[in-house]
């Protein structure tokens, strides 16, 4: 599946984040790209990443810039074949109190990525989205829902030349700033938990790379690809990571859901089960866009009426042993 990257130039926005750093290493170890461009706005993180990846100077290019800056994206995307758009502001409570910052980066920045990709004739552009975009109740989720919408609809602008799709997934073990990282680095004393019944989807960083590979190899334009991943109650996660510590219930934070959704009932109407993944087809008519490419998904199983993929009604669950095993994989 990594043949898609052979002799290609790949650019990753937000390339110094958890996904970007891991995916760059994955590409260096498993693919033969012509060039990998890490596009981000943090010069310190770029410097640190350069130090970690010494020996790959011929393949790597570090490009300082912000997705809010269309002109900078235009320059960065010149002669790029594949763009993976992972740049985003993500901290839910912070964005509830700084909403327009999220709008500028997650929505307007995504539109800038689309415009630059179309103008520079990038062949494939893939958005990294989140379960919080499905039935959003917080600002972060709403901005990512909008990012998904503009990515899907933008396939009408350069049909057959620049195709755009998205992947959507839940919490990632081993990602920077995650609740797992916070717990493992916490000191003695009570552990704060927002609600004893709260559930979340979980997957490893390696699983996100496989999802991105699947999407890039299969995308026609306008799809949202969703992995089948297990759930876990946060109270069980805490017991697995910090056993014996007192759990203190502090209440749900601003913008936080009790349970997350990856596929809604409405999306299931145009969804298919592809084995390891679900695919949600677009609900817009692109007019002159060639929709026949979606016929291949009909080989999968059409999702039943009323189906929804939600963390509290998921059929697959993680126990204490599972989470510890996955954490070893994530390290």
Convert the pLDDT of each residue in 186-203 to its tens digit. 767 788 888 889 999 999
CATH topology of domain 2-170+203-228+262-310: Rossmann fold (3.40.50)
Spatial distance between the Cα atoms of 319 and 39, rounded to a whole number of angstroms = 37
pTM of the shown model: 0.94
Name the pLDDT band for 331 (thresholds 50, 70, 90).
low
| Catalytic member of 132, 144, 228, 310 | 132
pLDDT tens, position by position, 276-327: 999 999 987 766 555 678 889 989 999 999 999 999 999 999 987 787 777 7
What radius of gyration, in Å, describes the C-alpha atoms of the chain?
Answer: 20
Q: What is the share, in percent, of the chain residues with pLDDT greater than 90?
A: 74
| Residue spans per domain, the chain | 2-170+203-228+262-310
Q: What is the mean pLDDT of residues 36-44?
A: 97
pLDDT score at 107: 98
Crossing angle of helices 320-330/234-241, nearest 10°? Answer: 70
pLDDT score at 237: 83
Name the pLDDT band for 242 (thresholds 50, 70, 90).
confident
Q: Would residue 132 show up in a list of annotated catalytic residues for this protein?
A: yes
């Amino acid at each position: 599946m990594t043949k898609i990257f052979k002799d290609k130039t790949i650019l990753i926005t937000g390339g110094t984040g958890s996904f970007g750093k891991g995916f760059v290493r994955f590409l260096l170890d498993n693919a033969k790209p012509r060039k990998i461009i890490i596009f981000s706005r943090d010069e310190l993180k770029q410097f640190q990443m350069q130090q970690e990846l010494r020996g790959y100077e011929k393949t790597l290019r570090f490009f300082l810039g912000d997705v809010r800056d269309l002109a900078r994206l235009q320059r960065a995307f010149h002669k790029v074949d594949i763009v993976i758009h992972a740049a985003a502001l993500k901290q839910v409570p912070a964005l509830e109190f700084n909403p327009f910052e999220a709008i500028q980066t997650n929505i307007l920045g995504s539109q800038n990525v689309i415009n630059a990709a179309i103008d520079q004739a990038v062949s494939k552009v893939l958005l990294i989205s989140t379960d919080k975009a499905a039935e959003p109740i917080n600002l972060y989720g709403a901005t990512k829902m909008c990012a998904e919408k503009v990515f899907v609809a933008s396939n009408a602008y350069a049909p057959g030349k620049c195709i755009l799709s998205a992947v959507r997934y839940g919490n990632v073990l081993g990602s920077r700033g995650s609740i797992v990282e916070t717990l493992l680095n916490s000191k003695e004393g009570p552990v704060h938990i927002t609600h004893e019944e709260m559930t979340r989807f979980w997957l490893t960083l390696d699983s996100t790379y496989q999802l991105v590979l699947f999407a890039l190899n299969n995308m026609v334009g306008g799809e949202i690809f969703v992995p089948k991943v297990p759930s876990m109650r946060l109270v069980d996660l805490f017991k697995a990571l910090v056993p014996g510590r007192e759990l203190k219930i502090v209440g749900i934070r601003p913008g936080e859901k009790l349970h997350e959704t990856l596929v809604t009932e409405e999306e299931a109407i145009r969804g298919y089960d592809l084995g390891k993944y679900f695919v949600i087809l677009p609900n817009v008519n692109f007019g002159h866009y060639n929709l026949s490419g979606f016929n291949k998904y009909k080989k999968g199983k059409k999702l039943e009426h009323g189906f929804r993929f939600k963390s509290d009604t998921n059929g697959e669950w993680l126990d204490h042993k599972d989470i510890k095993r996955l954490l070893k994989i994530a390290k």
